[in-house]
Structures are given as C-alpha cells and as structure tokens.
Amino acid sequence: MADKKPGGLADVVAGETAICTVGHEGEELHYRGYSVTDLAEHASFEETAYLLLYGSLPHDTELKRYRRTLASLRQLPPDVLAILERLPGTAHPMDVVRTGCSALAVFEPEEAGRSQTAIADRLLACGASMLLYWHRYHRTGIRLETASDSEEESAAAHFLRLLHNRRPDELHTRAMDVSLILYAEHEFNASTFAARVTASTLSDLYSAVTSGIGTLRGPLHGGANEAAMELIEAYANPDEAEQGILQRLAGKERIMGFGHRVYKVRDPRSDIIKTWSRRLSDQAGDRRLYDVSERIEQVMMREKRLFPNLDFYSASAYRLMGIPTAMFTPVFVLSRISGWAAHVFEQRAGNRLIRPSAAYTGPPPSPWLPIEHRM
C-alpha cells in the first residue's frame, strides 16, 4: 500500500481511553483488555455490551438481569411510532435510525433525570424496533409488535425475528450475535470521535449518538458494507470478479471493504466474519457470493497489498441472513451504540471541551474593502 497521506488526524493521539485498543498488540483488537477473537468465540453481544458500558464482564446473575432489562425495553412510545409512520418508505434506513434516535430524545429526554446508562440500554434495546417497525409498516401496512417474545431474547434473535417474522435458526442467530460483537467498538474511529466531540460540549447522550450515526453513514466508514455488497453482487462468478476488479483498479477506483487507517497487515475481525460467511454459505448450499468475495480478496492482496476490513465479508454474511443491503449500516449502528455510549461515559468522566486548532492557509490580513471597490 502507498505511504499514508498527511491530514485526517492520522497517527495523532487525540485523547486517552480505557475502553479499547486497536492494533496495539500485533494486529489485534481488545475491548477492555479482552481480545475480540475470544469475545467472538465465547461471549454474547449482551455480555460484550455490558463489558463496554459497565467496565467488566458480568457475572451469571448480572448477565441474566441485563438480558431481561434489554428485552423489556424494546417497545417504542406511540409518538415515536407515529413519526416512523410519517417518514417515507423510500427513506434510507440510516436516516430512519438517526431520526428515530432523535425523536426518542424528545419523548424520553436525558434532562428529565434519566441516567446515562438507562438511556444507553434503552437505545441498544430499541434500535432494531425503530428500524423494523418502519420497514414493515411501509412495506405491508402492518404495525409490527416490537416487544421481545421471551424475557431474555437476545438482540440478534430480536432483530432477525422482526425482520423475517419468524424465529431465526441457531446458526443465523449466532452469526448475527458475532457480527454485533465485532462491530461494537473500535477506539477513536470517526463516528466515536464525533460522539465524543458532541459529549465534550456537555450535550446529551442522544445527541452524541445521533452525531455518531450521521458520521457512520458515509462509505469511507460504516457505509462501506453496503458498497461492498453492491460490488460483490455485480459479479456472476470469480473470474468475472477478477476482471472487474482489475478494471476498477486501472480506473483508480477505491474498492470498498478494503484497507484501514490503523491496521497495516490485516483486520482481525475480517478473519472471524469470513469464517461465518463461509458457514452461512455452506448452510445455504450457495457459495457464489463467498467465492466471488474470496477472489476479490486475492486480487486486492496481489495488486494493492490491501486486505479486507470487517465490512467486506460482513456483506455476504448479511445477505445470506436475508438482510436487505440498505440495512447493513443500520445493523452496525445497533451494535456500535454500545461503543459510542461507553465513550460518552468516559468523556464525561474526565471532560474537557474538544476543540483543536487549525493551521491557517488563507490570505494575510487585509484592510476592509468597501463594496464599490470590489472587483
């Protein structure tokens, strides 16, 4: 890969955090000291969110209580449902989640004495409800019941059940659970930094999360998983993909789902989601997307020394779970709310306004120019 360009705050240490390390030990990722590889192997998303938000892994009873708390918070106020109904069915789901988060702030404001942890739990619990209530209503006219169907229903099972209107099978539920773990947190990435900047002005948690959602939407950040899907789906087979990618590279196109600002050699999350994409393909008896993806990976390594990031194999995994492409980045939101909120708590605990300086590149000071003398 070419040398990194200046700018973009690359390699700038912009603050301290005890939540996460990216690429410090080899090319590993740790949440509060625990490797993401171990979390994806052994933990659930709820356990991971608890770790991020509350600082340590929960005991058995704490985890049960936490699952029950989240499962009890999935319904939305009628006024928020009415707003979701008024949004156009053609809206981008990221706009829907961003608006839903903002709307909830109006009806359940932080200023009314709600604790920051209660709000984080609420947003984590009902993000999927917003997205899928809107989705179902605009496609079928049905007003979806978003409450959990059991007292410990997981976020993964809740999302897939609401999307498909049936209980998901075990493989899909665990694949989604792992995906939520992998997307939960990533240090000072663009959206988390945006959330911290918002929190540093002493604004409310909903505003910080809304800033995060807006920042995540772009294709250089969370939007890359949607762009990667469009790319992969454009090819019927691996040979076609190879030709297509070579052409795009010759045209200096950026291939979404490849490269990373911090990782230099590999994204540890990619290997994990790749394994899940393979399992889902085998279960479906359909390897097309996986084989096309693998060939693109090989070409990108051979031609550009670029490796896939988490977004690349998430695309085929999500498609195999029947998730519409426009919902890929919103799913990222449902998970990353945990990381954003943990960072807001940390920012607040040692707050100082985030307000950097800029190197000025404009004209030198000049005398006032009356309007009649302007050219």
Q: Which helix (H) or strand (E) holds 22?
A: strand 20-22
Smallest separation, CB 182 to ligand COA (Å): 11
Candidates 173, 233, 213; CA nearest to 329 is 213
Instruction: Count how many Cα atoms sit within 13 Å of the Cα of residue 271 in the half-sphere of its side chain.
Output: 11
Smallest separation, CB 227 to ligand COA (Å): 7
Strand partners, 30: 21, 35
Residue 131 or residue 315: which is nearer to ligand COA going by CB? 315
Residue 68 or residue 221: which is nearer to ligand COA going by CB? 221
Residue in 186, 260, 267, 343 annotated catalytic? 260
63 close to 47: Cβ distance less than 8 angstroms: yes
Residue in 138, 164, 221, 291 annotated catalytic? 221
Q: What is the DSSP letter of 112?
A: G
Question: Distance between CA 153 and CA 50 in Å, rounded?
Answer: 16
Q: Which residues contribute to the site for ligand COA (CB under 6 A)?
A: 1-2, 4-5, 8, 220-221, 224, 254-261, 304, 306, 309, 311
Smallest separation, CB 263 to ligand COA (Å): 9
Residue 119 or residue 299: which is nearer to ligand COA going by CB? 299
**Token code pair at residue 154:** 């997981």
* Residue 59 designated active-site: no
Beta-carbon contacts of residue 357 (< 8 Å; ≥ 6 apart): none
Residue in 172, 267, 311, 343 annotated catalytic? 311
Question: Distance between CA 352 and CA 357 in Å, rounded?
Answer: 15
Q: Which helix (H) or strand (E) holds 30?
A: strand 29-31
**Token code pair at residue 319:** 């498609």
Question: Distance between CA 167 and CA 181 in Å, rounded?
Answer: 21
Q: What is the identity of the amino acid at 57?
A: L
* Residue 121 designated active-site: no
**Token code pair at residue 139:** 């496609």
Q: Which helix (H) or strand (E) holds 370?
A: none
Residue 191 or residue 211: which is nearer to ligand COA going by CB? 191
Residue 8 or residue 89: which is nearer to ligand COA going by CB? 8
Question: Which string of DSSP letters, residue by residue, matches 79-91?
Answer: HHHHHHHHS-TTS
**Which residue minimizes CB distance to ligand COA?**
259
Smallest separation, CB 45 to ligand COA (Å): 19
Residue 10 or residue 142: which is nearer to ligand COA going by CB? 10
* Residue 135 designated active-site: no
Smallest separation, CB 202 to ligand COA (Å): 30
Smallest separation, CB 317 to ligand COA (Å): 15
Residues noted as catalytic:
221, 260, 311
